[in-house]
Each structure stands twice: as C-alpha cells, then as structure tokens.
Structure 1
Amino acid sequence: MLDAAVELFLSGGFDRTSMDAVAAHAGVSKTTVYAHFGDKLELFRAVTERSGTALDLALDEAALASDGDPEDRLTHVVLKVLQATSSPQFLAFLRVMMAESNRHPELIETMRTLGVPHVVDVVAATLREDAVRHGYHLPDPESYAGLFIRMAAAGVQMDALIALGQELDHAFLEGLARWTAAVFLRALRNRDAGELPKVPDGAGDVLSWAPPRRR
C-alpha cells in the first residue's frame, strides 16, 4: 500500500490521489487501506515516515563507519544527508509539498519526519565531541548543528531541483561533504577568532519556514 501511495502521490500530487486509487493500485480493498490509515493525510505521513526511518538508519551506519575522528564522522553523515535530500524521490515529494502547501499547510509538517530531528542530534553529538577534543566552547550545539546542515545541504538541493532528472555525481557529493565538514570544524577550532557567536534566532532550525516541531 505504501509503495502504491508513493507512486500516486508523486505522479498526481496530494489532491488528485484518492484512497480508492491507492487501494486499486495496491490490489487491496478500500476497507483494508482505511484499516491501516485513517485518512489520506495519515497515509502521506506514513510514506514520509518510512523515508525518514531509512535516513535515520543510514545516518547511524555512517556515524559508526567513521574511524572515530569527528571530522571524518561529520563527512560521512553529511554525505548521507546530501545523497538522501538530492535523490529524485525526495525532490519529487518536495515539489508536491511546495505546490500544495498553500492548500494543505499540514503537509509541511511531514518534512520533519524525513530524518531532520535525528540528523540534528547526530551532528550535535559530533560537534560536542570535537569541542572536547580541541578545547573550545560551543554554545548551543543543536543550533550549530542545524546551521551546519543548512549550510551543507541548501545549495545541493537547489542544484538538484533545477537540474531536473539529473542525479548529482557521487564523487562530487563526497568531495563537497568532506570540504564542508573540514571548513566548518576548522573555523570552530580557530581560537584566534575569539569566542564563537550565538547562532541567530531561527538560523539553526533546519526547517525554519515550517511549523514548530512537535514535542
């Protein structure tokens, strides 16, 4: 049912996808669909949550695969983020939400299930470790983590949105991830620059344009 929903949401958008169509495409009854998902919004959330769970697992695997050095770990993590958020399916969902967010602002909230809270936690933990190793004070690691993710991913996502149908080269993404991690961490470690500034309000929220995260 989720596979069928993905195909229909991406091809027809949220409004033009019905529970009847999902049932028919999945080869099940409408009653079966409603037994698992109360309405179409719940089904859409389930689709995006599945993608978010896959990204969460990829982030944990990337963190474990590093050699213990925070810079290497940050590189592995941001590479997974860049790969996931520039993938054709992610971009297709992003276009659906952008096109229909005025009529359905609740769709924007689903973006928060796409690995966003977890990636902030993983990056923040890495930044804390780097601060201890290199002897600097990092005010509000979660805000710095969110700022780093925005700095690393925004340009790549824009490139991918503009270059419709063209997947970004893995070597390019890997090089960008390594370069971004190195520049960001070495700037934080630079004691000659003085005390690290507070992240501007909202700048550390990966989805600053979306509704506040549910707690």
Structure 2
Amino acid sequence: MDAIAARAGVSKTTVYAHYSDKLALFKAVVERSGQSLAVEMDESRLRGEQDPQTRLREIVLLVLEATTSDEFRAFLRVMVSESTRHPDLAAAAEAGGLFDVIGLVASTLEDAADRRGYRLSDPRTFATVLLRMAVPGPQLDSVLFAEFRPDRALLESHARWVTAIFLRGIEPWPGEPRDVTPPTGGYDYPWLPDAADKR
C-alpha cells in the first residue's frame, strides 16, 4: 500500500479511503482486467461469419495476449505469492470475468460440434480444458523467463496449433458415440466453473 500511495502521489490514508485493505484493491484490479477482456471477447463474438475453428483461435489468441502482458505477469506473480496468505484472492479472481470467456469458448465449441455432427454433453468443461491447455504454457514461460516476450505471430501460431489439436481430439472417431462426455471419477478438476458446487 505504501508503494501504491507513492506511485499515485497521494497519502496512504487516501489509498485506504478508496480500498479498505489489500483484498479490496486486488478485487478492483481483477474486476478491471476482467471487464477489459470481456469487451474484446464480445467483439470476437460479433464476427459470426467466421468458421468456429477460426473464431476459437481468435478467442484463444486474445486470452494469450492479455495474460502474457507485462501488467498481467506482475499481477500473476503477486497472486501466486500471496494466495497462501490470502485464500480470498482466488475467489476475487473468479469474479473477474474468466467465466464469460469460458462461456464464449463453450458456445464456439458447440457450434463446431453441430457443424461436424456430434454433441458435447458439457461444453463448459471442454471450454475450460481447452483454455487450460492453451494458455498456461506461454503464460508461465513469460513469468519464469525474463527474456521471453512472445510476439503476436508466436502467440497466433500457438493458438492455431492448440485449437486444431483440441478440435481433432474431441471429435468422435467412426463408430464411437456422437455424444462426447468428459471423464468421470478420479481428478475432480477443482478449477472448473461451479466446482465448489460439486463438492
């Protein structure tokens, strides 16, 4: 809070007048980031003439660009270092708009499935798994390696590759059921939307 007050050129009392504690400040940062990303996601949704794979690739690319930015890297470092002392931060992050992205990816995956003649029984789970496959690698590399600053071309190539592999992987093979369901039992995917409701 001292550093924020100094950077803003105000007293620490002024900072506390707006944010009662660090958690309130984190919530505001997460909410702002989520709203910014949600606007870009809505713009992608309007491009309905695209085929689902192209649309999906663009969504993943937008998420990758947002989550490998300097601002997000700094935010992620703090989240990782503070989450043990402040478990409420995970809840604050959940409220920041990620689930809107999951919903957009889920509807795009449903569109892809409809066009290819199969059905996803739980599109939100598939959407979450795709995002977990596509985003953390470049994100973690950008946090761990100071020299790694992926440009748009690299992120676009990664988004294209991962979405193509994912779509091919979930489409049923000849003779398999056309209703694709995620695995049950075993790992409970604690990071899935509504996971707390299933416990």
Q: Same fold (TM over 0.5)?
A: yes
1:161-200 residue pairs with structure 2 within 5 A? 161-192=143-174, 194-195=176-177, 196-200=180-184
1:61-80 residue pairs with structure 2 within 5 A? 61-65=43-47, 67-80=49-62
1:212, 1:54 → 2: CA distance?
26
Other structure's SS at 1:192 match: coil
Give the equivalent residue in structure 2 for 1:205.
191
Q: 5+ residue gaps in structure 2?
A: none
1:157, 1:206 → 2: CA distance?
19
1:47, 1:205 → 2: CA distance?
21
By how many angstroms is 1:113 displaced?
Answer: 3.7
1:48 is the counterpart of 2:30: yes
One-letter identity of the residue aligned with 2:168: R
2:9, 2:137 → 1: CA distance?
40
1:157 is the counterpart of 2:139: yes
By how many angstroms is 1:34 displaced?
Answer: 4.4
Any conservation in 2 of the 1:79–1:174 contact (CA below 8 Å)? yes
Any conservation in 2 of the 1:144–1:199 contact (CA below 8 Å)? no
One-letter identity of the residue aligned with 1:82: L
Identity of aligned residues (%): 44
Question: Mean alpha-carbon deviation: is it higher for 57-66 or for 71-80?
Answer: 57-66
1:76-115 residue pairs with structure 2 within 5 A? 76-115=58-97
Any conservation in 2 of the 1:143–1:205 contact (CA below 8 Å)? no
Give the equivalent residue in structure 1 for 2:116.
134
By how many angstroms is 1:202 displaced?
Answer: 3.5
Q: 1:32 to 1:193 in 2, by over 3 A?
A: farther
One-letter identity of the residue aligned with 1:110: A
Any conservation in 2 of the 1:143–1:204 contact (CA below 8 Å)? no
Any conservation in 2 of the 1:101–1:108 contact (CA below 8 Å)? yes
Please list the CA deviations of residues 124-178 of structure 1 after superposition, one character each: whole Å capped at 9, or x if unmatched. 1111111222110211111011011001112112221222253112111101111
1:156, 1:206 → 2: CA distance?
20
1:124 is the counterpart of 2:110: no
Q: 1:154 to 1:40 in 2, by over 3 A?
A: closer
Please list the CA deviations of residues 102-121 of structure 1 after superposition, one character each: whole Å capped at 9, or x if unmatched. 22222232322443111110
Give the equivalent residue in structure 2 for 1:58.
40
Any conservation in 1 of the 2:38–2:101 contact (CA below 8 Å)? yes
CA RMSD of aligned residues (A): 2.7
1:193, 1:181 → 2: CA distance?
24
Other structure's SS at 1:104 match: coil
Q: 5+ residue gaps in structure 1?
A: 1-16
